[in-house]
Amino acid sequence: MQDEKRILMVDDDHDFVEAVSCFLELNGFRVFRAYNGADGIRLAKMERPDLILMDIMMNERTEGFFTIHEIRRDPALKNVPIFVLSSFCTRLPDFEIPASGGWLTHDMFFAKPVDTAQLLEKIRQRVGVTA
Amino acid sequence: MGEPAAAETVIVIDDDYTMRFSCGKILTKMGLQAEVFEDGARGLDGVATAKPAMVIVDLKMPGISGMEVISRVHEIDPQIIIVVITGYATIDTAVEAVRRGAYDFLPKPFSPDELRLIVNRGLERRRLAMESQHHEIEQTMLKRRFVTFVSHQLRTPLVAIHQYLDVLKHLDQEDDVPRFRRREWLDRCLTRIDELQNLITDWLTLAQVEGGTLSKERIKVDLNTVISPILKAYEQTASAKNVSLQAQLSEDCLFVWGDRNCLNVLFDNLITNAIKYNKSGGTVTVSGSQSRGEVVIAIADTGVGIPEKYRPFLFAEFFRVKDDSAKKTVGTGLGLHISKKIVSEMGGTIDVESEVGVGSTFWVRLPAWHEPEAAREG
């Protein structure tokens, strides 16, 4: 049996978190929920998730970016894959973000609302779980 | 504009030594940074490096003409004020210079006072132009930020609804989500749709208030007839939250000169807020009286209260208190902003008194209605 993979979700919209994390839990993941950047950083350090789902525009317009920056500063978390789920730009497709942009190659961007099935597939690929 | 501004630079270009020397001296005495040049080419170099506020140029010079200097200076910076110096005989040329963009002209010979007058006038004009440009930029940025903000506000509830439905669609077969949760999710979707509706309604009301289409009328309105129906309409909502509504409105003296629609929106906003941000077992008291030509309405709640640090922003567009207790309550952040606009439009004021954990009171003061002298009969 595979280890239960741990996912941290950081988003200030409780409903969005509820829908996505519930779906992931039903698919065998353990989900930690944070509703602001500070809690996200705290939970990331405490729980060492295998992957992080991050919103950008929370209380502050760019809270997510600062949160990612803070998380990355922790040596234990500097390689954790981060998927950005944001509606701040709808035209961006979900593509691999180049390392030159300050992103790791395994980071991804998803425009909100996300295709839940596709998100699940990408998460599974990234953390090495087979359906 | 807290600290004193750096001295503005004025460049003088004239082939006549005495002229540029004395102009320079007068300008320096005026507290300006004066730079003088003897011909157009050097003068233009000076303009390019010094970025002056003003250029004073003799029209008749050997080499590059004063007329050409005008257009070249404006190529460097169209905001630079140009004053031309001309002889008496060349007043036509001065007019031509003004047509080409010079601000004013100084006919020779001129007194130091004349120079000072024209320089001050020119600099004042430049300051005004720059201020209005600055204002325009600020307005544009505000508008752009508003659009970004509103689209985010509109999209957020839609995203949540979409996500719930998307997940429900994927789970349709297995019935993984327990029945009660499914029900809860549908309720949340409806709540978020309401949020969207309210946002659109409030946004529209705001546009109407700002455009003046909501409040054209000025008639005698008895606030009893505005407030009582609102209290009645919210009786159920309030009792569902275990909040009691009380009215202490003096009869026959709550007449204002205003617009019924606007007053409805105003008191509806304030009364719903008082219910929304109240505690179970709390009260909303609406009292009204008239004093010194003003009708004063107080809407008092026994709710969560507003921390002092937020009070200065309370009436600002889209402002919402970010405390957790307030975050659970649905709101668009436009209600109080609209209320304030309505009250100001009617020549009144709105203030708030609040204590955290005890409650808030909103005071609305509106000019009372008086029987017009001319209309009085007998």
Q: Do B167 and A117 touch (CB under 8 A)?
A: no
DSSP strand pairing (B81-86 vs B104-107)? parallel
Q: Please give, rounded to a whole number of angstroms, the shortest distance from the CA of A109 to a CA of chain B.
A: 16
Residues of B in contact with A22 (CB under 8 A): 167, 177, 181
Neighbours of B334 (CB within 10 A): 22
Query: Which amino acid, one-letter code, is at A93?
Result: P
**Residue located via tokens 């003409």:** B65
Instruction: Identify the three-state secondary structure at position A39.
Output: helix
Structure tokens at B41: 């080419």
B164 with A20: Cβ contact below 8 A: no
Which of A13, A19, A26 minimises the CB distance to B176? A26
**pLDDT given at position B195:** 86
User: Above 60 in pLDDT, residue A93?
Assistant: no
Interface probe with B: pick from A9, A13, A14, A16, most Cβ of B within 10 Å: A16
Q: Which of A94, A46, A51 is nearest to A74 (CA)?
A: A46
Residue B176: its chain A contacts at CB < 8 A? 26
Asked if residue B23 lies in contact with residue B14, where contact means CB atoms within 8 angstroms, the answer is yes
Which tops the pLDDT comparison, B271 or A95? B271
- Residue from B148, B154, B166, B169 to probe the interface with A (highest A Cβ count within 10 Å): B166
Contacts of B155 in chain A (CB under 8 A): 87, 112
User: Of residues B284 and A66, which shows the higher confidence score?
Assistant: B284
Q: Residue A34, class by beta-carbon neighbours within 10 Å (0-12 exposed, 13-18 middle, 19+ buried)?
A: buried
Chain B residues whose beta carbon lies within 8 Å of the beta carbon of residue A59: 322
Please give the Cα distance from B53 to B6 (Å, whole number).
11
Among candidates A15, A22, A115 on the partner chain, residue whose Cβ is nearest the Cβ of B177: A22
Q: Which backbone phi and psi does B48 adopt, to 5 degrees?
A: -60, -35
Which residue among A15, A18, A113 sits closest to B166, beta carbon to beta carbon? A113
Q: For tokens 């999209």, what's the residue?
A: B155
pLDDT of B174 reads 59
What pLDDT does B144 receive?
A: 67
Q: Would you state the pLDDT for residue B293?
A: 86
Sign of CA dihedral A108, A114, A119, A120: positive
Determine the pLDDT at residue A95: 47
Three-class HEC string of chain B: CCCCCCCCEEEEECCCHHHHHHHHHHHHHCCCEEEEECCHHHHHHHHHHHCCCEEEEECCCCCCCHHHHHHHHHHHCCCCEEEEEECHHHHHHHHHHHHCCCCEEEECCCCHHHHHHHHHHHHHHHHHHHHHHHHHHHHHHHHHHHHHHHHHHHHHHHHHHHHHHHHHHHCCCCCCCCHHHHHHHHHHHHHHHHHHHHHHHHHHHHHHHHHCCCCCCCEEEEHHHHHHHHHHHCHHHHHHCCCEEEEEECCCCCEEEECHHHHHHHHHHHHHHHHHCCCCCCEEEEEEEEECCEEEEEEEECCCCCCHHHHHHCCCCCCCCCCHHHHCCCCCCCHHHHHHHHHHHCCCEEEEEEECCCEEEEEEEEEECCCCHHHCCC
- Other C-beta atoms lying within 10 Å of the C-beta of residue A123: 21
Q: What is the pLDDT along chain B (378 residues), one digit of tens a residue?
A: 434 457 899 999 999 888 899 999 999 999 999 999 999 999 999 999 999 999 999 988 888 888 889 999 999 998 899 999 887 656 677 778 888 888 888 888 888 998 999 999 899 888 888 877 777 776 666 666 677 777 778 888 999 999 999 998 887 665 667 777 888 999 999 999 988 888 888 888 888 887 777 766 788 899 999 999 999 999 999 999 999 999 998 887 899 988 888 899 999 999 999 999 899 999 999 999 988 889 999 999 999 888 888 877 788 777 777 665 555 666 777 889 889 988 988 889 999 999 988 999 999 999 998 876 655 444
d(C-alpha B202, C-alpha B204), whole Å: 5
Q: What is the pLDDT of residue B87?
A: 75
Within an 8 Å CB–CB cutoff, is residue B144 touching chain A? Answer: no
Q: Nearest-CA distance from B134 to chain A in Å? A: 25
C-alpha span between A75 and B153 (Å, rounded) = 36
Nearest to B205 by CA among B335, B19, B110: B335
Average pLDDT on A17-46 reads 94
Which candidate from A13, A23, A112 shows the least CB-CB separation from B170?
A: A23
- Per-residue pLDDT at A106: 67
Residues on A contacting B at a C-beta cutoff of 8 Å? 13, 15-16, 18-20, 22-23, 26, 57, 59, 87-88, 112-117
Average pLDDT over residues A34-62: 89
| ipTM of this complex prediction, to 2 decimal places | 0.81
Position A118 scores a pLDDT of 92
Q: Which whole number is the average pLDDT over A27-51?
A: 95
Q: What is the pLDDT of residues A97-127, one digit of tens each?
A: 444 445 666 678 888 889 999 999 999 999 9
Q: Which two tokens stand for residue A120?
A: 């699940």
- CB contact under 8 Å between B159 and A113, yes or no, is yes
Residue of B nearest to A113 (CA): B159
Residues of A in contact with B160 (CB under 8 A): 13, 15-16, 19
